[in-house]
Structure 1
């Protein structure tokens, strides 16, 4: 079951081998183990580049390297307060010949903003830096292809993708071999097992296998209606890309309704008393996931959460969502509504 689960995840991510798939207890644990292993390769004169909308699971591990003197600084790519997108022009000055780590979210878990991954990963690889993707928030919203992205590592959590708790990391085969993570002496010396702490939970692998099989089924229901450059391939890999492309298209239609309204119900853009954080342009739905954070003027965030639930059966949350984005906007909590395929 463990091997079958690894194979399923490898196919979902279009990874070359199940041996490139590492399981963990959480995305946070995988990022800390990865930062520990990479930290052994650093000399203290190098830097790391990250975005200002990261979840702290992909922030604290790299700040810890700075605290320990293993990197000279952690540099942050700014985001535009107007639309929540990255200020990409800064990357040319942030990524230099001393950059050793570039780690970014595939999408912000607060703003919904998608990161232009191919652009950033290419710059990281050109600089000789480790390219790392936090796909935790985005994993349920669209195709993820590590071969096409050419990233070194990619991490996601099972429970964010309709599965059980636990997490998975893709790692480039040669880097999984070269880097030295936390490991007890008798444990295997080669990946993926040398990256995994303790006995593996078979139920976690069974759960993720079931989720991926569901998306294979979804692809069969869709048939040939979805066909573009993201769905090219053969067998299960192609089917899964078709399924996730269909999910992406469906969720864009939900995002459009959320922003522009439906029938007699106004969207967020038609509500002057609502402040939306992030992209609100209905012509740029391809640049965001269906995650919307907002505040309602005249109401405390917790009151908005309670009234949406008690009066309309709409479940939203209000908190900081472990994201650095709140420091950018100087706003400690926001109300967040997130949509998925069901």
Structure 2
């Protein structure tokens, strides 16, 4: 199915992103900083702008601008519910950022804890999914936060994680994929461990949300968080919460605020434009499904309407990106892959036969060249946009690397862009 994204379709996809076709110093730019934030699809930007002008009033009024705001919020919740295959739009909570939502969740869970329990997470988490739990430990509300290790090949050590979960585990929280290594987590296996322990199962889907379909019912998770700006939309984040969990937990809120979820979980005045924007990003994927849908005829029988369209579109994206990952690892256009360059050290899974286990996110170092200099030369000489940071990930603590260079690909990136990066690295033109 990688062939679904032929040159014509890639061109059509790129045309829907106003910033995808840009030049720098007379060169066609390759935007490979998607792990930090994707480009915004035109439909999302248009819907956001319309909401800011036409539906700018606060909710619950009887006049047009306010009624429009109510409608925009409802439609945005419904779009996110369909994206995640959540049972109801009322299971969707909005927030300023994934970090703020995770802290809100940890505070709510912490209200019922007295220090005997533990939390289990992993060594490749973003700190947005670590610091909220470590804060519970600091305050004495949990005994400890236990972290499952990373294997030598960059995969999560599931056996180690299983050994950490016990009868006192109250939360098991894991990323759907590492934002540094690109490694995907076997969430169903992690979820089973959480269920057996009677613990909340929390998924950080921020990095993975653009790379494949997510289904909270299939995962049987209690909470799942992602950010709009990692899904071709402006800033703003969303959390799925199992209905019973949203109702039984008591988040911090001001006294006059609503007492029933999802409103009780949302702090302050909501920005309805971000609901409009995320619906625009979802609409883009419905369009994408129309372009590739014939290849999936008869599949995904358990899905209907927009939910099926999103499953189709993101499955097609996932298959296309496997081809990009394979090209990055084994080479393309006569240029060797990352794992064939002795002067380049890649962190994470490097076996081209295991692209099913990773997102197209590649963190690396170039021997003898400072990371910031590599980034600068790739931009100035090759118009390749990426960066070197710690990316707020615990991976850098584990590997004792202050920063790594990261190239991250999404649906509008091309094999030609992958080849351009590989060629610059192979010819040591950095």
TM-score, structure 2 as length reference: 0.78
Aligned partner of 2:117 among 46, 70, 73:
46
Matches within 5 A, 1:80-91: 80=151, 82-91=152-161
- The answer as to whether partners of 1:227 and 1:242 remain within 8 angstroms in 2 is no
Q: Give 1:202's aligned residue.
A: 272
- Structure 2: distance between partners of 1:54 and 1:9: 23
In the aligned structure 1, how far is the partner of 2:335 from the partner of 2:384?
Answer: 15
Task: Spell out, residue by residue over 1:64-106, the C-alpha distance to the aligned partner (whole angstroms, 9 max, x if none).
Answer: 00000000000000001x2111111112320000000100000
User: Secondary structure at the residue paired with 1:44?
Assistant: coil
**Residue aligning to 2:335:** 265
Separation in structure 1 between the aligned mates of residue 82 and residue 150 of structure 2, nearest angstrom: 33
Seen in structure 2, the aligned counterparts of structure 1 residues 50 and 313 have a Cα distance that, compared at 3 Å, is: same
RMSD between aligned residues: 1.1
Aligned to 1:78: 149
Determine if the alignment matches structure 1 residue 158 to structure 2 residue 228.
Answer: yes
Q: 1:324 to 1:253 in 2, by over 3 A?
A: same
Unmatched tracts of structure 1, length 5 or more: none
Match of 1:67 in 2: 138
Report the equivalent of 1:95. Answer: 165
* Alignment partner, residue 106 of structure 1: 176
**Equivalent residues of 1:231, 1:245 under 8 A apart:** no
Aligned to 1:31: 102
- Residue number in structure 1 paired with 2:76: 5
- Aligned to 1:115, the other structure's residue is in SS state coil
Return the match for 2:397 from 324, 327, 330. 327
Counterpart of 1:117 in structure 2 is 187
CA contact (8 A) 2:211 2:410 kept: yes
What is the rounded CA distance, in whole Å, between the counterparts of 2:158 and 2:299 in structure 1?
A: 25
**Worse-superposed segment, 28-37 or 229-238:** 229-238
**Counterparts in 2 of 1:221-232, with a 5 A limit?**
221-226=291-296, 232=302
When residues 230 and 320 of structure 1 are mapped into structure 2, their CA distance, relative to the original with a 3 A threshold, is farther
1:337 aligns with 2:407: yes
1:231–1:241 contact (8 Å) kept in structure 2: no
- Identify the residue that residue 254 of structure 1 maps to in structure 2: 324
| Aligned partner of residue 155 in structure 1, secondary structure | strand
Distance 1:99 1:156 in 2: 24
Contact 1:143/1:230, CA 8 A, preserved across alignment: no
Partner of 2:198: 128
Cα contact 2:147–2:161 (8 A) shared by 1: no
Question: Residue 237 of structure 2 corresponds to which residue in structure 1?
Answer: 167
Residues matched between the structures, number: 341
Per-residue Cα deviation, 1:121-143 (whole angstroms, up to 9, x for no partner): 11101110000000000000000
Aligned to 1:14: 85
1:260 deviates by: 1.0
Offset of residue 231 of structure 1: 6.9
Give the structure 1 partner of residue 418 of structure 2: none
Q: How much has 1:269 moved relative to structure 2?
A: 1.6
> 2:149·2:161 contact (CA, 8 Å) conserved in 1?
no
Counterparts of 1:166 and 1:71 in 2: how far apart (Å)?
29
Matches of 2:153 and 2:297, distance apart in 1: 30
Matches of 1:251 and 1:71, distance apart in 2: 40
User: Who is 1:186 aligned against?
Assistant: 256
Question: Could you tell me how far apart the structure 1 residues matched to 2:296 and 2:344 are?
Answer: 35
- What is the aligned partner in structure 2 of residue 300 from structure 1? 370
**How far apart, CA to CA, are the structure 2 residues paired with 1:239 and 1:263?**
33
> Given that residues 104 and 132 in structure 1 are in contact (C-alpha distance below 8 angstroms), is that contact kept between their aligned partners in structure 2?
yes
Q: Once the 2 structures are TM-superposed, how far is the Cα of residue 219 of structure 1 from its aligned partner?
A: 0.4
The Cα of 1:227 is off from its aligned counterpart by: 6.1
Question: Alpha-carbon deviation of 1:270?
Answer: 1.6
Q: Does 1:284 align with 2:354?
A: yes
Residue 250 of structure 2: SS of its match in structure 1? coil
